[in-house]
Structure 1
Amino acid sequence: MANPVDDVIRQFMMPKAVAITGRSSSITNSFINSIIPVVIPTPEEIRRALEILDMTEQVRCAYCADPHTEWDHLRPLVINKQPTGYISEIHNLVPSCGKCNQSKGNKHWRVWMLGSSPLSPASRGVFDLDVLALRLEQYEAWSAPTRLDFASLAGPALWAEHWDHHRRILGLMQEAQVVATSIRESVRAGYLAQAPTRYSATD
């Protein structure tokens, strides 16, 4: 019988070194999400949204029917590192569980929900997907969500300034990565000088 410790040893993998530039997507998403308006719904609007989703008795994830933990943007706010024009408002929000919210990302809800993405409702074998999808279709038909041309509303000067800040921050991140890599190599060299027989990492 295999020893579970031996299995862990065979499969052991060191965490990868963190890269400052590896956070560039998060920075871009922050630059987009920071300019998206948030419209707080009235209690009546929330109640109506839940009625359409058939959740007057119990609020569950609109995608898989698990207990809900948050509200997800039905239509993505960001695609291809650009704002879609949708905003945070009740007409573009549905109850969701964290698992579905993370898995869906910026995909179209139907393509993701019925597709084979990891942790999608279809890939998890969620029951009554057709019923859930129909409710979401009815929700989409309830009221057209707001969609704005952010660049036009901001004006060319302000819009250009915002994205110039983005470009400069990403440039600084690249410069910082060069310095961080040099520091890591210096620290590694110091470690090798103290314990050359133990260290065999290649990163």
Structure 2
Amino acid sequence: MNAIDHPLVAAYLDSVARETAGLPAERRAELLADLREHIEVSEARDDEAVRAVLAELGEPRTVAASALAEEGAPATAVTAVPTGPLAGRQAARIIAVLPALGGLLILGSPFAGALVLAIGLALLWKTPLWDARHKRIGTATALAVPVLLLLGGLFLAGGWVGPVELLVIGVFAIGVPVSGALVLTRALRV
């Protein structure tokens, strides 16, 4: 296996990319390309050699702090990105889908759905992986299900809803949150 294809290298580069979110896109791409080139030149093959090369480069946070300092970016940009077990692309995808999932769960279990929806929206607004516009889109699409259920209930109680209208409400109640999750997933800054 080539060193650049090693899972440790992929995790390292993803971490550096997250930590340097405050850099201009061109400088960030240049930094990542330099790191990739250094790793490729090392010709490390096994886990131990790859770990040694990555240790030589330094911790992702340290590499990012140096790059941010060179660019004059504020040091807070380094600490604003998520770290730990819920950091990275997989966690970002979970955060992107959680509000929509919570909205859809409301259809079957209102309490569990409301809980998942609240947690999902809190995580969405806390993470720096999306800009404010995408966070508003995620929030609006996730809240579509409760709003449509409320409107459907009001219209049903008033006798204004027939089977076709119920079908339209159902399609929107499922389609809108799913499309919101897709928008968030595509707009990831990881």
Fold match by TM threshold 0.5: no
State the structure with more CA Rg.
1
Which protein has the bigger helix share? 2
Which protein has the bigger strand share? 1
TM-score between both structures, scaled by the size of structure 2: 0.19
TM-score between both structures, scaled by the size of structure 1: 0.19
